Structure 1
Amino acid sequence: MDSSPDWAESIRAARQVSGSVTRWEALAAEAEEAPDVVRALVYDGTGGAHLRQHWAGAGPDHLDAAIGWYRRAAAIARDPVATAVFSNLGRALESRYDDRYDDGDLDAAIDAYQQAGADLFLGRALRRRGHSGPDLDRAITLLSSAVEDADDPEPIRELAGALLDRHDTDGNGADLDRAVDLYRTAAATTDPEQLVAGCTGLANALLVRFQERGADDDLDQAIDLYEQVQPDAGDLSATAALARSNLAGALLARRDARGGPGDLDRAISLYDQASRCPDLSPRQHTGIMNNVAAALDDRFHARGALADLDEAVATYTDVVEQTPVTSPDLAGRLNNLAIALRTRHVYTVRLAPRLTDDLRESISRHREALAAGGDTPLRAALLNSLGNGLRTRFDATGDHDELREAITCFEDAVAAAPNDPAYLNNLSTALAALGETALLERAVTASRKAVALTVAGVAEYPRYLLNLANALAELGDRNDDAGLRAEATERYRESGRLALRALPGDALFGAANWSETAGAAQRWTEVVEAYRIGAAATAALVNVQVRRSDKESWLSMAQGIAARGTLALAGLGDARAAAVAAETGRAVLLSEALEVSRIRLERLADAGHGDLVTRYRDAAERTMPSLS
């Protein structure tokens, strides 16, 4: 009588016990003398049991075990079993790559998918390995083939994503438009899960197109789509967290374009909710925390509260510490931290440039980021950021070697990405800082191109206008060119008007530059215009501050603008307005001090200390005349 096991029945029974590693491993031990096809099926099932345990949070040892069992199965598998075995091996290797960022695992996954002939999985993995170049082109070819043969939306979304990747590299508008069309197709589904993924992909693509072309309809559609897929308030799943994070990013884009104050606060709230999701992977969690820090940084620039910037620096620091050294995200996150540290340095020492620990650490982090980034598409951005750090250190030390190294960084960044407005803008400011006439002419050329390449609605546009105005003004004065000076005036005016909508801190910086440049040439009417922009920006910043120290930090910058405004108004014969300008900063501080005192006195009276309030007010009445 044949006592050999009924392998088909044994495998079927093991599959019915979800996640039973023990059952599968016992079956694998029994199958050691079985035919290859049986052993391949059993080893594959054992690998699957371990992989499911890993996905359920049981630990990395299960992932390593899964890969080991899948490899044993792949070594003996033959068609038709081999296709499934190699696909499963590829999935497990991709999972380990997600956890440990070992490029060898991604390469091995690609080899496994090639053995399986799985166009969709192979195309997806190639897309991950190469965000540009031959890998990406091959991924698009494979995914296009997968779309032709598939009935479900997933291959369509993968192809659309690959086209977006290629657009990010070469700026091909046709790829972007095709990606939008494909995502629309993927979103036309009745399956709830596929609908969420399709709507999210379409919204992402529309947001990219808005940022590139500035069409309001694209932005409005993107936000509507993100709103449609928002989860219930109590949903703490990873999918819910990513949905909140996506909407937050779109709200920030709308706030940059239109200046809606509520969008910024809601975005920060959404990011905060998303970061509290317990089901996020470590990579997802640090990614969202990185977004939290960026939004806090944005709010600092919008409202000037140094507490927001301090929290952004602390959050960026935590993100960097939690990012593995092998992670492809490390370079970008180091760069973000370095930029925030440099920003805090600039706002701390803006009236008296000097070296600070923040600036020293910033440049060190920039160099770490450049080393971590290697020879990747991110290198140009990292060079640009290091250049900014070196330029800032030149402002503190006056060392022209620092400035020349900064210019080299900017030139290398522009060579790699000649149509990136940020790199052109920064190259322009560094060239202008050297002060040579020929370099000033190059600075104006680079700055004009930066402005021309930037959509008027994005946050950086007023800054680029300001830097163009500075270069035009200096070159106009150097060459005694009235036409350049007139253009500079118009650029200063436009920059201030736009910055006042959403970035009053930038408007205040611009007003300071304009009033200083025009004041040196005794163009009093322009100085008065700059003063009025500065006064409006100061009021906007002070009105949203809580801490007096924050108010004073902005008022100290405004003081110079008010002094020049006072001189200009006096020069134009408006003595009354000149007197008002001279007292504006002092009056704002005094009114803020009195308001704080009133609130504190009310709290003191409510606490049952009315006698102290009476004594205080009596003393205040006796001393108040000394303030007049």
Structure 2
Amino acid sequence: MLQLYAGHKVGVASGQSSVDSHSSSRLADEDPWSSSVPLLKRFERYGDLADLQRAITLLQKLVRSVSIWDDLYCAVLGNLGVALLWRFKHIGELSDLEDGISTHRDAVHLTPDGHPDKPSRLNNLGNSFMTRFKRLGELRDLEDGISTHRDAVHLTPDGHPDKPSGLNNLGNSFMTRFLHLGELRDLEDGISTHRDAVHLTPDGHPDKPSGLNNLGNSFITRFERLGELRDLEDGISTHRDAVHLTPDGHPDKPRRLNNLGNSFITRFKHLGELRDLEDAISTHRDAVHLTPDGHPDKPSGLSNLGNSFMTRFKRLGELRDLEDGISTHRDAVHLTPDGHPDKPSRLNNLGLSFRARFEHLGELRDLEDGISTHRDAVHLTPDGHPDKPSRLNNLGSSFITRFEHLGELRDLEDGISTHRDAVHLTPDGHPGKPSGLNNLGNSFITRFERLGELRDLEDGISTHRDAVHLTPDGHPDKPSGLNNLGSSFMTRFERLGELRDLEDGISTHRDAVHLTPDGHPDKPSRLNNLGLSFITRFERLGELRDLEDGISTHRDAVHLTPDGHPDKPSGLNNLGNSFITRFERLGELRDLEDGISTHRDAVHLTPDGHPDKPSRLNNLGNSFMTRFLRLGELRDLEDAISTHRDAVHLTPDGHPDKPSSLSNFGNSFMTRFLRLGELRDLEDAISTHREAVHLTPDGHPHKPSRLNNLGNSFRARFKRLGELRDLEDAISTHRDAVHLTPDGHPHKPSGLNNLGLSFRARFDRLGELRDLEDAISTHRDAVLASSVSGSRVISRTQFPCIRILLLLPLAISA
């Protein structure tokens, strides 16, 4: 999970486009010029589009009536260009953007070198280039913007009152190029230039807050790139100053509150202090409240407020925040005109909110709405746009989520393809590169778990390694990358059985937990993964210390997850499994009861329709089965079968978890057959295990265990009915299971043991000495494999007892 929400904005919105108040003694007070300037200023204050439209009409009339040689002509062009850019940002018509740039070009071209207004007109032209870059993503516009802003600064004499304004715009341009190309030089130049702008602006000057606002954005951006807490604190402090120095009623007050609120969110995500989250929501509410209805900045404030609600939902799990987040994002999208450059960003945030609700409530409608909304966001983002990769990332993650819910391979392929595109479009050195690699790595691992191709597993680990390597130490995303890399190591261990991967997985998960601050919303999920790693090592090596560490870590994860949080059931599920594992090791009935109780809670707290409901039912069913095998109460056996039936029924055809559910269901039938002797249960077990094997792709890490279960079922039917065909099928199936299990894998001894039992059964039936030799040889291999893998299935001390084992009645091995 990976997750991707709108952050701090730099550029034209934070820069200063000059409205020229030039007056001429030859024009009366009621002429178009003197009427247009107040209209523009009023629009800037209240956002009433009618004022802007009227001003543009007046200025266009003036352009046609004033001589090109009149000094007023360039001033009119300058204001008309500003007005057209404002209308573009309000309505999104590309023609306004092009006309604005053309008008500013003319104003610059007609202004003689040395003219005092030349720098301000270059500034406006530079801002226009930057606006077009943000809309269309053409690198030429970015370079032209920086070059034009440099010229404006260069032509402004030191000590001139407009020098700070020009520096501000140049700093914003550097920051925009950094966000697009990832060159650290641009980030440092942006901060240095913004510092100069603030330093040159006298205290008490009305532009001081604007400079502080831009400097604060630059500090936050450097924190997000390098992870230095000093930058985060400086960013918040600077934004506080900007807000404090902006008078109530000032048109930029809401925008500066928005940036301060975003800074609080950034600190919350890094340090996990709930106070920052509450401050962010409060600050964003103020920003929305102070922005008049109809103002072009209203959707931006709503979008930030929606992101804050979603962040609080992820932390506390309150459904009210989820609903408020979606509602607020809907309003932001609705109020953003088609064609507006920020429409894709707001659609992207709405899509993330739909997916979060799907993951909480399991309604397929939300998942479909999320994919549709993300598609629109990608479609509306021009090729070359700096945000194209992040929007592709979110679309790819939505495809993967739908695959995990419905099992359609098309979604998996679309997810990987989309994530590949996102990584490919992100320049090397860009701060978003590690995030894209993380998502691509997760997609490879998901395909491996579905299809079993080792190439995908290796690609997943390699991609996750790259993501970690490219994330600087101290960066807030470092723990997320480590968490994903640790999970990849664990997946390879489960496939190949190499102890090195197990140790690397635990070590990496430890680092992820250690680097995640207390109170951080992802702390519980990272503890969960560390706990799973401890349990896996216990199952491999049998050290009780790992089992205790696993339970303790899972307890911490559950304790840190608030009641009502959507991740609570997942933590309970893992804790329940840990209790059952300890019961199987120590035999304490208390652990068995705690396991069942905890699994019941996990199922109860998982909404109907949630994609994880079947897997949690599976674990509850397994717990009932464990209690039946311990106490022999038929009620538990019936509950296990019923619960496993529900798990299979709720798992869509094609879903990657379908074979697992069928395998557990088949084991339940088999157990009831062994208890009650009903042939119907044996037939159902074979049929169900056949289907589980059939649906498991070749190369899948669980293929051998499912073949083992099917082979045991064949052998049981041979024992019951005496059909040699079943015994031959059992031997063939067990051979396949052994062949597909890598040497050193902890399940190798169990598979060899089952194959040996099948050979022994055929020897008892046909008397062929070859089968007896094969049985002895296979059991010997099982003992040797057990010593190599560290498996507790067959211990070294059992080796002298193999000949006695061969004289005992056959048993069905799990």
Which residue matches 1:138?
324
Cα distance, 1:49–1:561 mapped onto 2, change above 3 Å:
closer
Cα distance, 1:119–1:572 mapped onto 2, change above 3 Å:
same
Say yes or no: does 1:366 pair with 2:554.
yes
How far, CA to CA, are the matches of 1:185 and 1:57 in structure 2?
32
Q: Contact 2:224 / 2:475 at 8 angstroms: preserved in 1?
A: no
Instruction: Tell me the CA shift for residue 161 of structure 1.
Output: 0.8
Q: Which of 582, 587, 594 lines up with 1:393 in the alignment? A: 582
Which residue matches 1:380?
569
Q: Which of 223, 241, 244 lines up with 2:416 in the alignment? A: 223
Which residue matches 1:615?
none
Q: Which of 525, 532, 535 lines up with 2:735 in the alignment? A: 535
Say yes or no: does 1:462 pair with 2:653.
no
How far, CA to CA, are the matches of 2:227 and 2:618 in structure 1?
50
Q: Which of 347, 369, 374 lines up with 1:183 in the alignment? A: 374
Instruction: Tell me the CA shift for residue 174 of structure 1.
Output: 1.5
Q: Which of 221, 230, 242 lines up with 1:61 in the alignment? A: 230
Q: Which of 68, 74, 77 lines up with 2:243 in the alignment? A: 74
Of residues 368-377 and 154-163 in structure 1, the stretch that sits farther from structure 2 once superposed is 368-377
Q: Which of 311, 315, 326 lines up with 2:519 in the alignment? A: 326
What are the superposed Cα offsets for residues 573-625 of structure 1, whole Å, 9 maximum, x if unpaired?
A: 27266246425537979999xxxxxxxxxxxxxxxxxxxxxxxxxxxxxxxxx
Which residue matches 1:98?
269
Output the amino acid matched with 2:348: R
TM normalised by structure 1 equals 0.82
Cα distance, 1:579–1:498 mapped onto 2, change above 3 Å:
farther
Instruction: Tell me the CA shift for residue 23 of structure 1.
Output: 4.3
Output the amino acid matched with 2:308: A
What are the superposed Cα offsets for residues 22-63 of structure 1, whole Å, 9 maximum, x if unpaired?
A: 6466567x425x6xx566446545645654564564943343
How far, CA to CA, are the matches of 1:434 and 1:589 in structure 2?
28
How far, CA to CA, are the matches of 1:433 and 1:369 in structure 2?
25
Q: Contact 1:304 / 1:541 at 8 angstroms: preserved in 2?
A: no
How far, CA to CA, are the matches of 1:588 and 1:58 in structure 2?
53
How far, CA to CA, are the matches of 2:738 and 2:191 in structure 1?
63
Say yes or no: does 1:293 pair with 2:293.
no
Q: Contact 1:512 / 1:560 at 8 angstroms: preserved in 2?
A: no
Instruction: Tell me the CA shift for residue 500 of structure 1.
Output: 6.9
Say yes or no: does 1:473 pair with 2:642.
no
Instruction: Tell me the CA shift for residue 457 of structure 1.
Output: 4.7
Instruction: Tell me the CA shift for residue 442 of structure 1.
Output: 0.8
What are the superposed Cα offsets for residues 76-102 of structure 1, whole Å, 9 maximum, x if unpaired?
A: 442312122211211221222222121
The one of the two structures with greater contact order (alpha-carbon pairs below 8 A, sep at least 6) is 2
Which residue matches 1:282?
475
Instruction: Tell me the CA shift for residue 134 of structure 1.
Output: 1.7
Which residue matches 1:511?
708
TM normalised by structure 2 equals 0.65
| Corresponding residue SS for 2:476 | helix
Instruction: Tell me the CA shift for residue 531 of structure 1.
Output: 4.1
Output the amino acid matched with 2:353: A
How far, CA to CA, are the matches of 2:584 and 2:703 in structure 1?
18
What are the superposed Cα offsets for residues 282-309 of structure 1, whole Å, 9 maximum, x if unpaired?
A: 3322212211121221222222223222
Output the amino acid matched with 1:63: L
| Corresponding residue SS for 1:229 | helix
Cα distance, 1:69–1:471 mapped onto 2, change above 3 Å:
same
Instruction: Tell me the CA shift for residue 275 of structure 1.
Output: 1.5
How far, CA to CA, are the matches of 1:54 and 1:432 in structure 2?
52
Which residue matches 2:50?
none
What are the superposed Cα offsets for residues 96-144 of structure 1, whole Å, 9 maximum, x if unpaired?
A: 2222121211221122122112111111221121146121212222212
| Corresponding residue SS for 1:377 | coil
Say yes or no: does 1:172 pair with 2:355.
no
Cα distance, 1:92–1:190 mapped onto 2, change above 3 Å:
same
What are the superposed Cα offsets for residues 539-559 of structure 1, whole Å, 9 maximum, x if unpaired?
A: 2223xx4xxxx26x5443234
| Corresponding residue SS for 1:237 | coil
Which residue matches 2:180?
none
How far, CA to CA, are the matches of 2:551 and 2:568 in structure 1?
16
Higher CA-based Rg = 2
Q: Contact 2:534 / 2:546 at 8 angstroms: preserved in 1?
A: yes
How far, CA to CA, are the matches of 1:140 and 1:233 in structure 2?
29
Which residue matches 1:12?
165
How far, CA to CA, are the matches of 2:520 and 2:574 in structure 1?
20
Q: Which of 641, 647, 653 lines up with 1:450 in the alignment? A: 647
How far, CA to CA, are the matches of 2:670 and 2:225 in structure 1?
63
Which residue matches 1:598?
none
- TM-align CA RMSD: 3.3
Q: Contact 1:492 / 1:514 at 8 angstroms: preserved in 2?
A: no
Instruction: Tell me the CA shift for residue 515 of structure 1.
Output: 2.6
Q: How many pairs were matched up?
A: 572
Q: Contact 2:667 / 2:709 at 8 angstroms: preserved in 1?
A: no
Say yes or no: does 1:313 pair with 2:506.
yes
Unaligned runs of 5+ in 1: 350-354, 593-628
How far, CA to CA, are the matches of 2:417 and 2:366 in structure 1?
23
The 5 Å alignment of 1:13-28 reads 15=168, 16=170, 18-20=190-192, 23=196, 26=199
The 5 Å alignment of 1:87-166 reads 87-117=258-288, 118-131=301-314, 133-150=319-336, 151-152=340-341, 153-166=344-357
Output the amino acid matched with 2:249: R
Of residues 533-542 and 56-65 in structure 1, the stretch that sits farther from structure 2 once superposed is 56-65
Instruction: Tell me the CA shift for residue 455 of structure 1.
Output: 4.2
How far, CA to CA, are the matches of 2:653 and 2:474 in structure 1?
37
How far, CA to CA, are the matches of 2:209 and 2:431 in structure 1?
34
Which residue matches 1:622?
none
How far, CA to CA, are the matches of 1:587 and 1:473 in structure 2?
28
Instruction: Tell me the CA shift for residue 382 of structure 1.
Output: 0.9
Q: Which of 636, 639, 642 lines up with 1:439 in the alignment? A: 636
Which residue matches 1:617?
none
How far, CA to CA, are the matches of 2:572 and 2:462 in structure 1?
33
The 5 Å alignment of 1:542-553 reads 542=742, 545=743, 550=744, 553=746
The 5 Å alignment of 1:576-587 reads 578-579=771-772, 581-582=774-775, 585=778
Output the amino acid matched with 2:658: Y
Cα distance, 1:516–1:531 mapped onto 2, change above 3 Å:
same
How far, CA to CA, are the matches of 1:588 and 1:304 in structure 2?
17
How far, CA to CA, are the matches of 1:394 and 1:247 in structure 2?
38
How far, CA to CA, are the matches of 2:220 and 2:440 in structure 1?
32
Which residue matches 2:442?
249
How far, CA to CA, are the matches of 1:57 and 1:181 in structure 2?
34
Unaligned runs of 5+ in 2: 1-157, 172-189, 289-300, 786-814
Point out the structure with the larger helix share.
1
Of residues 499-508 and 583-592 in structure 1, the stretch that sits farther from structure 2 once superposed is 583-592
Cα distance, 1:115–1:11 mapped onto 2, change above 3 Å:
farther
